[in-house]
Amino acid sequence: MNNMTISSNTNVTALLKEYALPSPLGFGRELAPIMYRADYMDGAWKQGQLIPFGEVGINPAATCVQFGQQCFEGMKAYKVAQSSPALFRPEMNFARLRKSAARLCMPAPLSGIFVDAVKQLTRTLEPFIPSESGQSLYLRPTLLGLDPTFAVKGSERYCFLLIASPSDAYYTAPIKVMVEREHSRAAKGGTGSEKVGGNYAGSLQATERSIAAGFDQPIWLDAATSKNIEELSGMNFMAVINGALHTPALSGTILSGVTRSSLFEIARSIGMDVVERTMPIDELLTDIRTGACTELFACGTAAIISPISEIGDTETRQALPDVDNVARQLKTILLDIQEGRGEDTFDWMADTRDTDTLIKRLNGAPA
């Protein structure tokens, strides 16, 4: 075991000596040459370590391959105005990973392992965290079921990987969204409120159809009635109606976004009302026609906010009068906090140097 650690550390050091960031970086394209891996076996998590990034030997009959027994997270480490890499509300990603893991009968990594992974990887990659506004080290915690079996059951061995991508800002031009009326993303009792791979695979055909129809992405309706807006495939949805921020309530089929809940607090802090409710698509289209709804946008960790310029389907399309107005205001406040320029009034940022505080935050204790 000692020898393994030494040779792995040596590889990691050697790899980083030769590493240079490409230009342009893009978002989520460049994969850092090292990653973190911890394994679960014999009923317990073993201490993990940094290893060279590369393909991990996975049995083709493993439960993650055959049955989609896998889940993941998306978060960012920022080093713009900060003196050391900082995380944004990591306890929320950890809690969501635990929820996703539990739904698929997987053991979630312990808080100590999650913190060790984030801390070791961000500290070791610190010289390669790009530091212009909008840039970050995008982090992808990933949990995989490893046992080969064709019986539909969980594994006894799992691995937790933390993969990193030094990234540029994820700038999106305003997007056009197509109301998806054929497929559903998630049904009550399914896995829509967890971050599991199958949700995304199931969305791909609708994305292709929306692009063929001249849009960028589908917007999903609820599976039970096909009447109410849920979210986009990888972002939550928000509308500005009569000056207030409206968004679909968490129904058990929508992912509870870290950005979504952060934007609520920011909106309230600047005097906007926030309304979480059932949002019928027909009512929204009427509100756009009458001018009550002025702006739509999607939100998530990667892009923070993607303004929506048009909504429609194969028959009709409606353009929004405002694009990136309220959205830009909210995004500026959020980014100022994340990048260390603005005061962290909500106590959202966590210094990756401070292990004790990180563990307390992940365990839900006051930091």
Ligand X SMILES: Cc1ncc(COP(=O)(O)O)c(C=O)c1O
State the residues that interact with ligand X by CB under 6 A: 74, 231, 234-236, 255, 257-260, 300-301
CB nearer to ligand X: pick between 63 and 199: 199
Shortest Cβ distance from residue 285 to ligand X (Å)? 22
Structural tokens at position 5: 């650690």
**Burial of 151 by CB count in 10 Å (0-12 exposed, 13-18 middle, 19+ buried)?**
exposed
DSSP state of 148: B
CB nearer to ligand X: pick between 85 and 300: 300
Helices (H) and strands (E) in the chain, counts: 10, 18
Shortest Cβ distance from residue 11 to ligand X (Å)? 31
**Burial of 269 by CB count in 10 Å (0-12 exposed, 13-18 middle, 19+ buried)?**
exposed
CB nearer to ligand X: pick between 124 and 301: 301
DSSP state of 109: P
CB nearer to ligand X: pick between 62 and 75: 75
In DSSP notation, 316-346 reads -EEE-S-SSSHHHHHHHHHHHHHTTSS--TT
CA distances from 169 to 136, 137, 297, 303 (A): 8, 10, 17, 7
Q: Rounded CA gap, 52 and 6, in Å?
A: 13
Q: Where are the beta strands (DSSP E) in the chain?
A: 34-41, 44-45, 49-52, 70-72, 75-78, 86-88, 136-145, 158-167, 175-179, 217-221, 229-232, 236-241, 244-248, 274-277, 293-300, 304-312, 317-319, 349-351
Shortest Cβ distance from residue 292 to ligand X (Å)? 25
Q: Rounded CA gap, 246 and 130, in Å?
A: 34
CB nearer to ligand X: pick between 69 and 236: 236
Shortest Cβ distance from residue 133 to ligand X (Å)? 19
Shortest Cβ distance from residue 191 to ligand X (Å)? 11
3-class SS at 263?
Answer: helix
Residue type, 248: P
Shortest Cβ distance from residue 73 to ligand X (Å)? 8
Q: Rounded CA gap, 273 and 245, in Å?
A: 6
CB nearer to ligand X: pick between 168 and 231: 231
Shortest Cβ distance from residue 71 to ligand X (Å)? 11
Shortest Cβ distance from residue 195 to ligand X (Å)? 6
CB nearer to ligand X: pick between 34 and 163: 163
Shortest Cβ distance from residue 172 to ligand X (Å)? 14
CB nearer to ligand X: pick between 135 and 301: 301
Q: Where are the beta strands (DSSP E) in 146-181?
A: 158-167, 175-179
CB nearer to ligand X: pick between 259 and 294: 259
CA distances from 92 to 69, 129, 288 (A): 21, 22, 33
